Amino acid sequence: MKRLVVAAALVSLSACGQQDSGSRKAAAPARPAPTPAEKAALLAALPAPYNTADLDNGRRVFARCRACHTLNEGGPNTTGPNLFGVFGREAGNHPGYNYSTVVREADFIWDAEKLDHWLENPRVFLRGNKMSFPGLPDATDRRDVIAFLKVETGYAAPAAP
């Protein structure tokens, strides 16, 4: 009898976290991380010079950024915004992140070129932003980080005309 009561309690508790399909929308499951073979294929498909980047170096260099940014789909904003889907996103427009006025009012879409200039020196690229990171002076490190971000954050190359 005791086992039956415990089983019934577990069944009723397991339903606590489920959302009904009526008034609340269930969250979409996050995509699985790309496999090493998929990462190699994604890297090879990037435009030059990113297709020749060193993803391991990009991952190591990005370690400096992990204190403030997450990369996973649906990941939280922390000190900085979540970067999943950053390429093609309007600057200052990630939901739930409190951007500085200068970033909110910036009029551009994030692409590799803009991110390269930002990463080189965020304070010079967009004066008045609140990012305290001093930048990545090495062009190879920036190339590798950008390729790493493209592979890790759901980047989809524009379709050919």
pLDDT digits (tens, 9 = 90+) for 86-134: 999 999 999 999 999 999 999 999 999 999 999 999 999 999 999 989 9
Q: Which of these, 59, 60, 46, 57, lies nearest to 157 by C-alpha position?
A: 46
CATH assignment at residue 106: 1.10.760.10
* Non-local CB neighbours of 109 within 8 Å, separated by 6+ positions: 88, 89, 90, 91
The total of structural domains in the chain comes to 1
14 found inside a domain: no
Read off the pLDDT of each residue in 135-161 and give the average, rounded to a whole number.
89
146 found inside a domain: yes
